[in-house]
Amino acid sequence: MTAQKSRKTPQQRRSRDMIDRLLVAAAQVLEERGYAGLSTNRVAERAGVSVGSLYRYFVDKNELIEELRARSSADVLGDLTQALTAAVAMPARDGVRHVLAVLVRALKRHRAVTAAMIDEAPLGAHGNILPEVERQLAQVTRIFVAVHAPDLEPAEAEARIHLAMGVALNACLRIALQPPPGVTEERLIDLTADLMVLGLVPHPSRN
């Protein structure tokens, strides 16, 4: 049976509402008091709900946080997927740039949660906040390489993909969450796009 993994099994309308209210409250608390201040009591209070109710729908504090993370991740992933399908019709560099721009915008929309999670939450086990996003991005990058640099050996291609992924995610997070002063976001995205293309497709003049 491996019974109820998750305690929530809402059957009335107000239950669903409550779950939403709790998650919204959690996001707010995270934004205002940081990850350390994110206690279940506080979240419940903030949601105008009792702790007991919180624990009716979330087995754990962990599950609450995981749900919060999952929702943000899913939302970002949505935008990303859309951008990717649009990008395939563009010339390579423009496509890459478009995807990066959309990713940055999506991350910005979830700025508070993402930021708090990234630099305050114990992510344990190298847990990224957006593993789904990373996976999707890697997937598409693989295809990109297969098309634009079909002669690369598999191992070499993997290495380049790995590197480019790191560059892309890291750059987008930096741009979205801690934009450096004195540089336009546009320019940074341009440079990142250039770098990705350069990094993925072997440069003719050398090596």
Span of 11-19, 55-63, 77-85, 198-206 interacting with a copy of itself by CB under 8 A: 198-206
Rounded-to-integer distance, Cα 3 and Cα 9, Å: 12
Tell me the CA distances in angstroms from 2 to 5, 6, 66, one per residue in order.
8, 11, 20
Of 58 and 144, the one with the shorter C-beta distance to DNA is 58
Both ends of the chain: CA-CA distance in Å? Answer: 59
Span of 55-63, 101-109, 127-135, 190-198 interacting with DNA by CB under 7 A: 55-63
Of 72 and 192, the one with the shorter C-beta distance to a copy of itself is 192
The answer to whether 62 contacts a copy of itself (rule: CB under 8 A) is no
The answer to whether 2 contacts DNA (rule: CB under 7 A) is no
Rounded-to-integer distance, Cα 103 and Cα 147, Å: 22
Residues 58-97 that bind DNA (CB under 7 A): 60-62
Closest-CA residue to 50 (of 63, 37, 41): 41
The answer to whether 40 contacts DNA (rule: CB under 7 A) is yes
The answer to whether 146 contacts a copy of itself (rule: CB under 8 A) is no
Rounded-to-integer distance, Cα 9 and Cα 56, Å: 9
Q: Which of 123, 143, 146, 147 binds a copy of itself (CB under 8 A)?
A: 123
What minimum distance in Å lies between the beta carbon of 159 and a copy of itself?
Answer: 4
Of 149 and 177, the one with the shorter C-beta distance to a copy of itself is 177
Span of 79-87, 94-102, 142-150, 191-199 interacting with a copy of itself by CB under 8 A: 191-199
Pull the structure tokens for residue 202.
Answer: 């072997």
Given phi > 0 = left and psi -120 to 50 = alpha, else beta, which region is 124?
Answer: left
Contact assessment for residue 166 and residue 194, using Cβ atoms and an 8 Å cutoff: no
Tell me the CA distances in angstroms from 126 to 121, 130, 134, 167, 186, one per residue in order.
12, 11, 13, 17, 30
Interaction site with a copy of itself (CB under 8 A): 34-36, 116, 119-127, 155-156, 158-160, 162-163, 166-167, 170-171, 174, 177-178, 180, 182-183, 187-188, 191-192, 194-195, 198-199, 203, 206-207
